[in-house]
């Protein structure tokens, strides 16, 4: 077997966790990441038939039965992931019936996946149905997105359009818009179901006064999506109390959509 610390997927998730911590998005043990892996890439580094602890998924994940994921651990600090990946991360395999999963590698201190795992799995399922190339779900706490959720209406259309107006590239990066949920208790099935209901047609959902859920076909894409939303929220928080002399109009965004061949969320541009 090859040394798993050299596995591209492990190197990439460690780098992403480092970046998110550096940006101040994942204080203490805040935030979590999961990424779907192919058996062929996992089998180079671990025994996929090894015995391991078996835990319940707590909902029906049969749609992704047999799939492998690398997941951040509950209670683990992002700042420690690259230092001790075998403790802070784990590779799991979902049982064929979707009712349980086996830990094949990692969580060496007896840990387990993030408490948000059911929400991650629900959203992997809906995103895979929407995009067969989907791979990553990321939950993090970007400072300005959270601040914006205190002072801006939580209407999804208005929240999205405010962000689109902040930077020209926003409508290009997330033409599907942003989902928004009011404050809810985290780590339970209710918030997972509510998030998944929005992620079927979007790749990003804001949890008011908490953080953001983003997805993508790669860690770079998911990270870049959240990064762009956070930058737009930062600009909004900087200028919201100022006199606005000019802005990006709906007609401007229609021109961008035409130039880039975008399918902008229907009904959002007047």
Q: Which of 201, 208, 159, 219 is nearest to 183 (CA)?
A: 208
Distance CA 267, CA 270 (A): 7
Strand ranges inside 89-227, DSSP E: 89-94, 100-106, 136-140, 179-181, 204-207, 211-216
Q: How far is CA 183 from CA 38, 99, 176, 194, 208, in A?
A: 35, 29, 22, 11, 5
The residues near 49 (Cβ < 8 Å, ≥ 6 apart) are none
Assess whether 96 carries a catalytic annotation. no
Q: Which residue has the tokens 């408490």?
A: 115
Report whether 78 contacts 21 (CB < 8 A).
yes
CB 154 within 8 A of CB 213: no
Burial (CB < 10 A; 0-12, 13-18, 19+), residue 122, is: buried
Exposed, middle or buried, 229 (CB in 10 Å: 0-12/13-18/19+)?
buried
Q: What is the dihedral of CA 128, 130, 136, 142, to 10 degrees?
A: -150
Residue listed under structure tokens 């101040």: 24
Q: Pick the catalytic residue: 116, 156, 221, 227?
A: 116
- Positions annotated as catalytic residues are 116
């Amino acid at each position: 077997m090859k040394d798993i610390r050299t596995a591209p997927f492990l190197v990439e998730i460690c780098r992403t966790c480092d970046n998110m911590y550096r940006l101040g998005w994942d204080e203490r043990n805040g935030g979590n990441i999961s990424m779907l892996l192919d058996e062929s890439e996992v089998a180079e580094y671990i025994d996929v038939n090894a015995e391991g602890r078996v835990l319940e998924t707590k909902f029906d994940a049969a749609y992704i039965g047999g799939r492998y994921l690398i997941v951040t651990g509950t209670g683990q600090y992002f700042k420690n992931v690259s230092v001790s990946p075998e403790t802070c991360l784990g590779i799991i395999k979902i049982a064929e019936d979707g009712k349980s999963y086996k830990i094949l590698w990692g969580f060496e201190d007896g840990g387990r996946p993030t408490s948000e795992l059911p929400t991650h799995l629900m959203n992997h399922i809906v995103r895979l149905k929407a995009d067969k190339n989907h791979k990553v779900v990321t939950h993090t706490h970007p400072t300005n997105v959270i601040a914006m959720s205190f002072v801006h209406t939580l209407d999804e259309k208005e929240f999205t359009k405010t962000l689109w107006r902040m930077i020209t590239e926003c409508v290009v990066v997330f033409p599907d818009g942003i989902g928004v949920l009011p404050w809810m208790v985290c780590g339970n099935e209710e918030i997972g179901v509510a998030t998944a209901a929005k992620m079927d047609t979007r790749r990003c959902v804001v949890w008011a006064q908490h953080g953001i859920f983003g997805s993508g076909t790669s860690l770079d894409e998911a990270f870049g999506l959240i990064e762009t939303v956070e930058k737009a929220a930062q600009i909004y928080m900087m200028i919201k109390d100022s006199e606005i002399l000019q802005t990006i109009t709906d007609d401007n965004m229609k021109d961008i959509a035409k130039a880039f061949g975008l399918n902008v969320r229907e009904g959002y541009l007047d």
